[in-house]
């Protein structure tokens, strides 16, 4: 009896001791004192935004038109002087067209025309990136994301005359001003409508070769606008919605930036911010906010985005030769590799089921997509890119086991995922055929060059293939085509896909684009989609990096 009691007490003592040490391990910050320094470097690099005052180009009215994007087009209305000189009480509503997409602060003046102003004015303003946003009723709201993202505001102006400043930063080309309330004892007009546009893109990219095809020139210039608008104090995903830093968007924006505005400090700031805001165990968080003070969206872990952090760091180093930054952030990259390794099964395949449970595996906006093969491919790609980074930093000793792991995972991919008969990679138990699988296997370079070309050609002709849901995945498709030597196909795909948006009137490229479904929305309400979206800007990168293909 007594010995049992003693045994139990000893066991309890050791359990408490063990749990004390494991709690301590969890609480310990793997990046130690670096974190503070990373955040202060990020803060120092916060850019001053360039401000430009823009004015409306014309008054428009909206016309329902089946052949226009999402069923609406604008037509020129009365001259702007009508607004600035005549009674707004009579006019009641106006739609201003600024002629281009802007991100900034809208203001206008209200000036008395007759009588003494004896009461406030009430207006409703709606800002739209595309015409349908102004035309589509927002309520009853059917979307999944917050209704508050939609850019409508009701404002009360207490003093007339005065300048009305809308404090919320807006992303728009069109603004509708509607009068909701006014006094019968005085009249007024609207004057000096303007937008103070802001961006951290502060240089003029070089011009393309003069002989460049007209459509490619257009795609490049719209891509540049898209990127410029998303470049704020971080690379935002979209200046209308989300308005924050996501690793996947950062990766693509920083690529395009390296070949255009070359604001490398913005990339550096974002890399440090993400590192500084990672979890204590070294896991990156997929998205972070800047205000009221920098903080992560806790628990938002995207495995594919975490991996792309490493690729972004490598590309940053290649573009800048900033070894100091790359060295300082190397522990973060190394940690992501450890995470990857922890999911590799003895047979060389990623433990997809476990990864799916532990993480958000994004890859594309497409619920139907089986992500097993894409994850396998991206992991190999990340291992390779990180190993390259290690070599540049002379740290390959720290990744000694990686080259063998790459080999093992590549042959496992071939053995388990490649269907020789069809020349395509499949994914999951149901052997799904998708663009995503071919793309990531080609980028992982697990095939012979001939097999890579075959997979990409076959997927384009496959009637039932799961196609990309957003330009994000389309970027990697173009990349895979180029990597496998299908240059003409890459040019054709880029021109058709992004050219499709141009033909539909895009001023900036969109978050979601399916040529066959203009109303597609991952959030189940198309006006909440972002129509100036970071990950859509990458034609800039392709066109400028590969002039022999595109210019
Ligand atoms: C959305 C945004 C963003 C993307 C994430 C995964 O919220 O479109 O760009 O990175 O999803």
Task: Report the percent of the chain where pLDDT is more than 90.
Answer: 95
Residue 458 has pLDDT above 80, yes or no: yes
CA distance 376 to 59: 52
Query: Read out DSSP for 221-277?
Result: HHHHHHHHHHBSSSB-S-TTTT-SEEHHHHHHHHHHHHTTT--HHHHHHHHHHHHHT
Q: What are phi and psi of 194, to 5 degrees?
A: -160, 165
For the chain, what is the mean pLDDT?
95
Residue nearest to atom 6 of ligand 1 (CA): 362
Q: Are strands 245-246 and 121-128 parallel, antiparallel or unpaired?
A: unpaired
Name the 3-class secondary structure at 289: strand
For residues 501 and 210, is the Cβ–Cβ distance under 8 A? no
Q: Which residue's CA lies nearest to atom 7 of ligand 1?
A: 242
Residue-wise pLDDT for 246-262, tens only, equals: 999 999 999 999 999 99
**SS percent in the chain: helix, strand, coil, step 5:** 45, 20, 35
pLDDT-derived band at 536, boundaries 50, 70, 90: very high
Residue located nearest, by CA, to atom 5 of ligand 1: 246
For a mutational test of ligand 1's pocket, the pick from 146, 229, 236, 237, i.e. the residue with the most ligand atoms closer than 8 A to its C-beta, is 237
Which pLDDT band, with edges at 50, 70 and 90, does 2 fall under? very low
- 392-396 average pLDDT score: 98
Strands in 18-120 per DSSP E: 50-54, 58-64, 72-76, 93-114
Regarding the beta carbon of 246 and ligand 1, being less than 6 Å apart is answered: yes
Q: What is the pLDDT of residue 12?
A: 46
Q: Lowest-pLDDT range, 25-39, 322-336, 518-532?
A: 25-39
The predicted model gives 473-497 an average pLDDT of 98
In this structure, what is the dihedral angle of CA atoms 9, 15, 20, 22, given to the nearest 10 degrees?
170
DSSP string for 86-114: S-HHHH-EEEEEEEEEEEEEEEEEEEEEE
pLDDT at position 412 is 98
Mean pLDDT of 56-67: 97
CA atoms within 13 A on the CB side of 138: 19
Compute the average pLDDT of residues 4-19.
Answer: 47
* pLDDT tens digits, 136-188: 999 999 999 999 999 999 999 999 999 999 999 999 999 999 999 999 999 99
pLDDT attached to residue 15: 46
Whether the predicted pLDDT of 21 surpasses 60: no
E-strand spans in 433-540?
Answer: none
Q: What is the pLDDT of residue 480?
A: 98
Measured distance CA(118)–CA(508) in Å, rounded: 43
CB 487 within 8 A of CB 451: no
The CB of 237 under 6 Å from ligand 1? The reply is yes
Question: Is the separation of the CB atoms in 480 and 374 below 8 Å?
Answer: no
Residue 5 pLDDT > 60, yes or no? no
Strand pairing report for 72-76 and 58-64: antiparallel
pLDDT of residue 550 exceeding 90: yes
Residue 24 has what pLDDT? 44
Residue 26 pLDDT class (50, 70, 90 cuts)? low
Q: Which helix (H) or strand (E) holds 281?
A: none
Q: What is the pLDDT of residue 19?
A: 46
The alpha carbon of residue 15 and the mean position of all alpha carbons in its chain are separated, in whole angstroms, by 46
- Per-residue pLDDT, averaged over 211-229, amounts to 98
Distance, in Å, from the CA atom of 253 to the CA atom of 200, rounded to the nearest integer, reads: 13
Q: Which of 246, 468, 512 to mutate to test the pocket of ligand 1 (most atoms within 8 A of CB)?
A: 246
pTM: 0.94
DSSP letter at 528 equals G
| Helical residues (DSSP H) of 93-178, grouped into ranges | 131-135
Contact of 361 with 340, CB cutoff 8 Å: no
Distance 472 CA to ligand 1 centre (A): 9
370 C-beta closer than 6 A to ligand 1: no
Is the model's pLDDT at 430 over the cut of 60? yes
Q: What is the pLDDT of residue 25?
A: 46
530 CA distance to ligand 1 centroid (A)? Answer: 10
pLDDT digits (tens, 9 = 90+) for 230-247: 999 999 999 999 999 999
Q: What is the mean pLDDT of residues 412-433?
A: 97
pLDDT above 70 covers what percent of the chain?
95
Residue 253 Cβ < 6 Å to ligand 1 = no
Q: Whose CA is nearest to atom 3 of ligand 1?
A: 237
Q: Is the four-CA dihedral 490, 515, 211, 251 of positive or negative sign?
A: negative
The continuous run of DSSP H or E covering 154 comes out as strand 152-157
Pocket test for ligand 1, best of 143, 242, 361 (most atoms within 8 A of CB): 242
CA distance 218 to 531: 17
Cβ-proximal residues to 356 (8 Å cutoff; 6+ apart), any chain: 371
Pocket test of ligand 1: the residue of 226, 240, 248 to mutate, having most ligand atoms within 8 Å of its CB, is: 248
DSSP for 441-507, please give it. Answer: HHHHT-S-HHHHHHHHHHHHH-TTPBPPSSHHHHHHHHHHHHHTT-HHHHHHHHHHHHHHHHHTT-S
Structural domains present in the chain? 50-199 (2.60.120.260), 214-550 (1.50.10.10)
Structure tokens at 538: 């990458």
């Amino acid at each position: 009896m007594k010995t049992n009691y003693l045994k139990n007490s000893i066991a309890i003592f050791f359990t408490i001791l063990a749990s004390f040490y494991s709690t301590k391990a969890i609480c310990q910050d793997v990046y130690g004192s670096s974190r503070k320094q990373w955040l202060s470097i990020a803060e120092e690099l916060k850019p001053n935004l360039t401000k430009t005052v823009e004015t409306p180009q014309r008054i428009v009215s909206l016309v329902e038109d089946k052949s226009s994007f999402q069923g609406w087009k604008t037509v020129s209305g009365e001259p702007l002087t009508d607004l600035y000189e005549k009674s707004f009480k009579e006019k009641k509503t106006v739609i201003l067209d600024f002629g281009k997409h802007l991100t900034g602060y809208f203001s206008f003046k209200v000036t008395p025309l007759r009588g003494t102003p004896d009461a406030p004015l009430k207006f409703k303003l709606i800002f739209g990136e595309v015409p349908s946003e102004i035309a589509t009723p927002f309520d009853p709201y059917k979307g999944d994301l917050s209704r508050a993202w939609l850019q409508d505001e009701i404002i009360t102006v207490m003093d007339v005359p005065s300048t009305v400043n809308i404090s919320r930063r807006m992303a728009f080309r069109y603004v509708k001003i509607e009068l909701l309330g006014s006094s019968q004892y005085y009249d007024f007009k609207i004057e000096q409508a303007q937008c103070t546009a802001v961006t951290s893109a502060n240089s003029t990219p070089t011009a393309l070769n003069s002989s460049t095809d007209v459509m490619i020139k257009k795609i490049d210039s719209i891509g540049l606008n898209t990127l410029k608008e998303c470049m704020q104090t971080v690379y935002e995903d979209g200046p209308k919605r989300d308005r924050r830093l996501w690793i996947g968007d950062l990766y693509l924006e920083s690529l395009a930036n390296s070949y255009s505005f070359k604001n490398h400090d913005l990339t550096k700031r974002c890399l440090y911010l993400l590192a500084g805001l990672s979890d204590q165990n070294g896991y990156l968080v997929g998205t972070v906010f800047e205000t009221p003070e920098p903080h992560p969206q806790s628990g938002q872990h995207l495995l594919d985005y975490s991996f792309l952090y490493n690729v972004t760091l490598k590309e940053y180093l290649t573009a800048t030769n900033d070894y100091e930054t790359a060295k300082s952030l190397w522990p973060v990259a190394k940690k992501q590799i450890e995470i990857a390794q922890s999911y590799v099964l003895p047979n060389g395949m990623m433990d997809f089921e476990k990864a799916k449970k532990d993480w958000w595996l994004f890859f594309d906006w497409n619920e139907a997509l089986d992500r097993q093969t894409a994850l396998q491919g991206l992991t190999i790609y990340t291992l390779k890119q990180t190993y390259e980074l290690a070599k540049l930093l002379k740290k390959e000793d720290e990744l000694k086991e990686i080259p063998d792991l790459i080999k093992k995972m590549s042959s496992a991919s071939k053995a388990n995922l490649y269907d020789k008969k069809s020349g395509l990679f499949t994914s999951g138990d149901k052997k799904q055929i998708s663009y995503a699988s071919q793309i990531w296997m080609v980028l992982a370079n697990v095939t012979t060059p001939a097999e890579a070309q075959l997979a990409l050609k076959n997927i384009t002709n496959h009637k039932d293939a799961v196609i990309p849901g957003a330009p994000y995945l389309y970027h990697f498709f173009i990349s895979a085509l180029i990597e496998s030597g299908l240059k003409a196909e890459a040019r054709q795909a880029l021109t058709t896909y992004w050219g499709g948006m141009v033909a539909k009137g895009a001023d900036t490229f969109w978050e979601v684009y399916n040529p066959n479904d203009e109303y597609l929305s991952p959030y189940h309400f198309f006006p909440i989609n972002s129509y100036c979206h970071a990950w859509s800007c990458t034609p800039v990168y392709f066109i400028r990096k590969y002039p022999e293909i595109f210019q």
